[in-house]
Structure 1
Amino acid sequence: MTPIDRSATARPGPSVAQRLLTWAGFCATALLVSCAAPKAPPPPAVVVVPVPVAPAVVAPLPDLVSEAMTPRDYRKDGARHLYGLNKNRIYKGRLPPLMYAVGVLRVDIDSMGKVRQLNWMRSPDHAPEVVREIERTVLAAAPFPAPVRMGGVTYTDVWLWDKSGNFQLDTLTEGQRSK
């Protein structure tokens, strides 16, 4: 096989003058295109207008606050609150051996100390007037100390009702006589 001489078949490249003309043509075209393109308007100036911001509405803390961490601890605060509002109705001393009525009431308190719900666990059905009076007493005592650490609480207490109309709560009872 004989080698092919490529130098004889190769075309001569463009001359320096042709290359300069081509380059000048590209530059002129680019210059014309950039001049012809519409310029974008400058962005509008940003004007910052201060807007008055209302302070966040925060509910004030209630006057009565409980730091209790559990419903059992809150039960003491609830009982003290009821005793404080009903001083003249608290049975003084040890209760007699037989009570007129005994009731177990569950009280649901919201985060601000309002009574959400009352639920009898054991109602003294033989004494409906006592049921009504206990419910009235609890509702009239609202607001209870706000359970700020729990955000709301449901606690249970036992109402020990004497035939005189006075009562003690099991949480703060002074006990019961044997005779």
Structure 2
Amino acid sequence: MNTPTPKSGKGSWFPLASFVLLAILLANGLWLARNPDREKLPSPLIGKPAPQFSLPVLHEAGRLLSTNELRGAPYLLNVWGSWCPACRDEHPVLTRFAETKRLRVIGFNWKDEHADALRWLEEFGNPYFVVVADYEGKAAIDWGIYGAPETFLVDGQGIVRWKFVGPLTDKVIVEELLPVLDKIEKGR
């Protein structure tokens, strides 16, 4: 009786190479998830004009809001989605900050269903001055958004001055956001 012998050839390395590549990708993902510096990723937008958008207002059917209409006073643009677990963690912090009325907090609802976004705000509260909806995610590309939550501070002239990736915390607001906002308010 003949016993089949394993074939060796050009394709035998493929399963091993696929496994190694997958392991590298998973390790990189775990590193990013545990690396506290991921929130400090540099943004090419800092010091440049905020990307233009004209997006529907979540609570007002038929109304569009553009970045030009937001100029004149600083604002915080907060990217969120009802599908985002970290946005739920961030929400109480953002709400407390919005209640100070130090600046307008603009919600940027990203790749969400209209009804889901409205339901989420009804359940957790609406800290936003206004919420725009980027249903297809096209405007987010210009902003360099690759996840939620992300937050941008834009000055009154429409220049991006600060960006944070990940959920805002009280510490981030006090140690990072407020010092930049102080500089903006002092004209520096």
The TM-score normalised by the length of structure 2 is 0.34
Higher helix share: 2
Structure 1 length as normaliser, TM-score? 0.35
